[in-house]
Chains A and B, each alone.
Chain A
Amino acid sequence: MSILLPDRPADGAPAPARRLPVPPRPHAGRAGVGLAVVVGLLVAAHVVAIRQTEVSITALIDGWSGITRFLGDAFPPDLTWDTVVRPGIEATITTFWIGLLGTTLSIPLTVVLTVLGARTTTPNAVVYQVARAVMSFLRAVPDIVFALIFVTAVGLGPFPGVLAILLHNAGVMGKLWSEAVEEMDQGPVTALRTTGAKRPQVLAHAVLPTVVPQLIGLLLYRLDVNVRSSLVLGLVGAGGIGFLINKSIKLFQFDEMLTYILIVLVLIVVVDQVSGAVRRRLAR
């Protein structure tokens, strides 16, 4: 008799399909209770959050006239070339340089933090914990706070913006890169270890070539984010288009502000498209 197929009757007619009762799913009741508890906690957290943040639809409706007045002042945008558009484009390019330099200059520090802060490459547990703590600190301090500190240290302008992006990005990208390194297939690492390869050789010939496409993808994603962050840093005196937007708001020149925002929009779209295209190409 076949184990898998039911016996076929002698007359050639198909045998009735064999059936077995489905056993109950183990711990099904407990999982349902757990899910209900999680959903309940999430709902409670959102109710508290709405109260604490004073979210109010009526306040939004009451303030609608203010928003329409603001939009009325902003339209049409001021397209004066010499005093608005050209300075806006130049400042936007400066904003891009801040994001680019902050990202690029953070790479050496990020590489060190990645190697020391990934479980699979760190020399020991103490170094791992220290590296993770440094990354957590750099991530926990917002780039705008770093910018304020550096503005007081080195003065107004794009340079404090670059320094702020550099430090904050090293924390964020170090975490992303070290996780990518930890999640990589350890097969090539083990294989090279059996050849007698030393630690730097294993890093150079197994870890790096395996994860580099992912690391570059994450780097481009961070460039995208950092260009947008460098815009905000301008609001606290770190130069670039953010500085001009802040100035136009303070002077109630909302039509000028709208022009700057439109120029920024073009920059963000271009960076997003280019980095997205490169990342898609790397993923192939």
Chain B
Amino acid sequence: MAETGAGLRVRGLTKSYGDRHVLHGVDVDVAAGELVTILGANGSGKSTLLRCVIGLERAESGTVLVAGESRTSQPTSVAMVFQKIDLVGRYTALDNVCSGALGRLSGARSLHPRLFPRSLREEAMACLDEVGLADRAHDPVRRLSGGQQQRVAVARALCQRPSVLLADEPVSALDPAAAEQVMGVLARIAHQGLAVLAVLHQPDIARRHSDRILGLRSGRPVFAGAPSEVDLAEVDALYAVPAPRPSEDR
């Protein structure tokens, strides 16, 4: 396993909604240069874990360290790509990517895409090139396919210059080919030095692209390891549900 000092370290994360305990002291390590995938059934706490890591939900206890320091002291160090592609449809791909840098911009020049500094626009072009969409920079994102839009969302996250990239079911709404492309991009940028933590529902895609897989059930990690080490039966057990049977009281 890679050294986690420069990546993400989560310790003892606990979260409840009323009486329902969603996360029970979860520990996760993602090293810089590593793509870790979390698998688990709906309601197992995967998305809540990511939302607590980035600060969209407040965890009751636990620590989130990025490169050894508290995430709250470096708010732009963690970027996130969502399942529902939350781009601004009227903006071009380039303008959407530029908006990833808003955390380090200030003043009137940060309030309209046309006022963004040239250096930012050039950096955003490089991010678009990273995801293979430099030639679509000036297209409004609503005209792009779902897979292309998700890659623009990844480019926007890159433009934030994060140390850690979270991806919450980034391929759930995509066809298999687009899903492969997006996961390929995430794996490549992880191997360039980013710590990437993705939540997936597709064990086969997770096996192909991840460096490690973490199984989550009812808010507790149940297994972790390299794809070759993870037992298929354990993965199947994550999604095991009683088979539906015709009702017998006819």
Contacts and interface: CB of A to CB of B under 8 A. Distances in A.
B210 interface: no
B110 interface: yes
B243 A3 contact: yes
Contacts of A213: 90
Given A20-B250, A187-B82, A205-B102, A194 B54 contact: yes
A206 B113 CA distance: 12
A190 B83 CA distance: 12
B56 interface: yes
Nearest to B85: A187
Contact of A190 (B56, B106, B112): B56
Q: Max chain B CB contacts within 10 Å: which of A20, A192, A196, A204? A: A196
A187 B111 contact: no
Contact of B103 (A191, A196, A206, A210): A196
A114 B120 CA distance: 31
Interface in A169-208: 185, 187-188, 190-198, 200-201, 204-206
A70 B95 CA distance: 63
Interface residues of B, number: 37
Interface in B4-44: none
Given A196-B75, A198-B102, A3 B111 contact: no
B87 interface: yes
Given A192-B99, A196-B102, A204-B112, A209 B88 contact: yes
A191 B86 contact: yes
B79 interface: yes
B215 interface: no
A194 B79 contact: yes
A197 B56 contact: no
Interface in A142-185: 185
A188 B88 contact: yes
B63 interface: no
Given A194-B56, A196-B76, A204 B111 contact: yes
Contacts of B118: none
B80 A194 contact: yes
A20 B99 CA distance: 55
Contacts of B173: none
A187 B103 contact: no
B110 A201 contact: yes
Contacts of A194: 54-56, 78-80
B84 interface: yes
20 contacts: A20-B247, A20-B250, A187-B84, A188-B88, A191-B80, A192-B99, A192-B102, A194-B55, A194-B78, A195-B76, A195-B100, A195-B156, A196-B75, A197-B103, A198-B102, A200-B111, A204-B111, A206-B88, A209-B88, A213-B90
